[in-house]
Structure 1
Amino acid sequence: MDTAITWLNDNSDLLLHFSVQALIALLVLFTGIKVAKMCDRLTVKAFDKRKIDKAVAGFVANIVYAIVFAATVLMALSQVGIETTSFIAILGAAGLAIGLALQGSLSNFASGVLIIILRPFKAGDYIEAGGKAGSVQKIEIFSTELKTPDNKVIIMPNSSIMSGAIVNFSREKTRRIDLVIGVGYDADLKQAKQVLKSVLEQDERILKEPAYTVAVLELGDSSVNFVVRPWVKTPDYWPTYFDLVENIKISLDEASINIPFPQMDVHLHKD
C-alpha cells in the first residue's frame, strides 16, 4: 500500500498530464461525432434544397460522415500520445492488402461514386444498362437495385452499369412512338395515310408539338410500309402505344384496307 502511495506521489504530474490529455481526447471524440452527424444532416438538407435525388444524398452523406469520423478518431489518438503517422501508415498498408483482395468491390465502389457524380439516372428512372432493364429503386455503394415491369428485383454491380452504354428512358419529358404499318399494294395510299392520321388526331395523348409524322417508309416485299411517329409524354408511352396498334387495325379494317402478311409468290415454268 505504501509503495503504491509513493508511486502515485512520485508520478502525480505525469498522471495529471495523461488524465488531462485523455479528457481532451474524449472531448475531441465527442465533439467530432457531433460534427460528423451535423455534416451528415447538412449534406442531406443541401441536396434536398437543390432537389437532388434522395438516394444520391444518402450516399454522399454517409461518405461525409465516415471521413469526418475518421479524422476525429485520428485527432483523438494524437491527443493521448499515439503517433498517428505510423498508425496511418499501418492503415494504408492494410488498406492496400484488402484492396488487392477486393478489387471487384473497389471497382463497384468507384463506379458507384461515378454514378453519383455523373448522375446518368436517379431513383425512379427506367433505364437499360449492362444487358438489364428496369426502374431504379436504390443506388448503393456497391450496387444498384432495379425493378422490372413484372416486379422482379435486379441487383446489379455498379461496375456492370458503368462499363457500357446506359439508356435512360425517363430523363426526357417526351418520347416518340415508332410504328411501321404495312398495307397491301392494291390499297389507296392517300386513303390509308388519311386513316392513320385520323387515328392519331383522335387520341388526346398525342402531342401537337413536336408534330407527328405519317409517311411512306418503303416498298416492302409484300406490303407498302408506312412509318407512324407520334410524340407523347413519357408516362403515356406504353398505354398510347398499345391503344394505337389496336385502333389502327380497327380503322384500317373499317376502311377495307388490308394489312397483308408476309408471302412469297412461286412461279413454275414448264420446259
Structure 2
Amino acid sequence: MDIILDWFNNNSDFIVHYALQALLALFIFLIGLKVTRFLSNLTEKAICNRKVDKAVGVFLANIVYALGFVATLLMALSQVGVETTSFIAILGAAGLAVGLALQGSLSNFASGVLIIILRPFKSGDYIDAGGKSGSVRKIEIFSTELITPDNKVIIIPNSSVMSGAIVNYSREKTRRIDLVIGVGYESDLKSAKSVLENVLNSENRILKDPAYTVAVLELGDSSVNFAVRPWVNTGDYWPTYFDLLENIKVALDDANINIPYPQMDVHVQKND
C-alpha cells in the first residue's frame, strides 16, 4: 500500500495533468456530438424548407452526422495525446481492409449517392424496384424503405434498387387503365362497343384528353376481346379501375351481352 501511495505522490503532477486532459477530451467529445446532431438536424430542416424531397434531407443529414462524429473522435483523441496523423493512416489502412470485406455495404452507399443524384423517385412515390413494390418512405445511406398498401415495411439495399429496372408509378400525373373485356361470338359487336363506351362516358374520373380507346383487340379462342383503355389522374387509378370492372359487368348483363368463360366439351363414345 505504501508503494502505491509513494507512486501517486511522486507522479501526482503527471496524473493530474492527464486526468485533466482526459476530462477535456471527454468534454470535447460530448460537445462535438451535440454540435454534430445540431448540424445534422439543421441540414435536414434546411433541405426540407427548400421543398426538396424529404428523403434527400434524411440522407444528407446522415452523411453530415457520420463526418461530424469522425471529426469529433479525432479531436478528442488528439487532446489526450494520441498522434492523429498516424492514427488517420492506421484508420485509412483499416478502412481499406474493412472496405474490401464490406464491398456490399460500400456498393449500397454508392447506390444511395446515385439515387440522390439521379432521383429516379422521391419520398411518397409508389415504385417497383428490387423485386418489391411500395411507397417510398425514406432513403437512407445503405437502404431504401418502402411501405406497402397493406402497411408492411420493406427495406431494400440500395444496390438492389439500382441494379435493376425501377418502375415509378407516381412520377407522371396521368395513367392509362388497360382492361381486356371479352364478349361472345354470337354478340353484336357494335352493341357491345356502345355499352363499353357508355360506361366510360358516365365515369367522371376518366379524362377527356387524351381520349379513351375502345377497340377489338383479338379474336380469342372463346371470345371477341375488346381493349378498353381510358386515362385517369394517377391518384384515381385504382378506385376507377375497380369501379369500371363492376360497372362494365353490370352494363353488359343489362344489355344481355354474354361474357364467355373457358369451357370444355367432353364427348363420351360407348362401344358395344
Q: Where on the TM-score scale, by shorter chain, does this alignment land: which range?
A: 0.7 to 0.9
Q: Alpha carbons of 1:6 and 1:136: their partners in 2 closer, same or farther (altered >3 Å)?
A: closer
Q: 3-state SS of the aligned residue for 2:206?
A: coil
Q: Are 2:97 and 1:97 equivalent residues in the alignment?
A: yes
Does structure 1 conserve the Cα–Cα contact (< 8 Å) formed by 2:58 and 2:138?
Answer: no
Residues 188-207 of structure 1: pairs in structure 2 closer than 5 A: 188-207=188-207
Q: Alpha carbons of 1:199 and 1:22: their partners in 2 closer, same or farther (altered >3 Å)?
A: same
Per-residue deviation, 1:32: 5.7
Matched AA of 1:166: I
Equivalent residue number for residue 249 of structure 2: 249
Cα deviation digits, residues 49-86 of structure 1 (max 9, x gap): 23223232122112113224433554565677654332
Q: Alpha carbons of 1:108 and 1:209: their partners in 2 closer, same or farther (altered >3 Å)?
A: same
Equivalent residue number for residue 121 of structure 2: 121
Any unmatched runs of 5+ in structure 2? 1-7, 268-272
How far apart in 2 are the matches of 1:162 and 1:78?
Answer: 40
How far apart in 2 are the matches of 1:157 and 1:33?
Answer: 28
Cα deviation digits, residues 122-149 of structure 1 (max 9, x gap): 2322211122212223322222222222
Equivalent residue number for residue 226 of structure 1: 226
Any unmatched runs of 5+ in structure 1? none
> What is the aligned-residue identity percentage?
75
Question: Which piece of structure 1 moves more, 22-31 or 205-214?
Answer: 22-31
Per-residue deviation, 1:199: 0.3
Matched AA of 2:214: V
Q: 3-state SS of the aligned residue for 2:134?
A: strand
Matched AA of 1:201: N
Corresponding residue pairs, total? 260
How far apart in 2 are the matches of 1:28 and 1:177?
Answer: 60
Equivalent residue number for residue 59 of structure 1: 59
Cα deviation digits, residues 80-138 of structure 1 (max 9, x gap): 76543322110011111222222222222222222222222223222111222122233
Matched AA of 1:218: E
Name the TM-score, length of structure 2 as normaliser: 0.79
Q: Alpha carbons of 1:37 and 1:156: their partners in 2 closer, same or farther (altered >3 Å)?
A: closer
Q: Are 2:261 and 1:261 equivalent residues in the alignment?
A: yes
How far apart in 2 are the matches of 1:145 and 1:128?
Answer: 12
How far apart in 2 are the matches of 1:28 and 1:133?
Answer: 45
Question: Which piece of structure 1 moves more, 225-234 or 39-48?
Answer: 39-48
Per-residue deviation, 1:245: 0.8
Equivalent residue number for residue 4 of structure 2: none
Q: 3-state SS of the aligned residue for 2:104?
A: helix
Equivalent residue number for residue 240 of structure 1: 240
RMSD of aligned Cα (Å): 3.5
Cα deviation digits, residues 175-205 of structure 1 (max 9, x gap): 1100011122232222211111110111111
Matched AA of 1:207: L
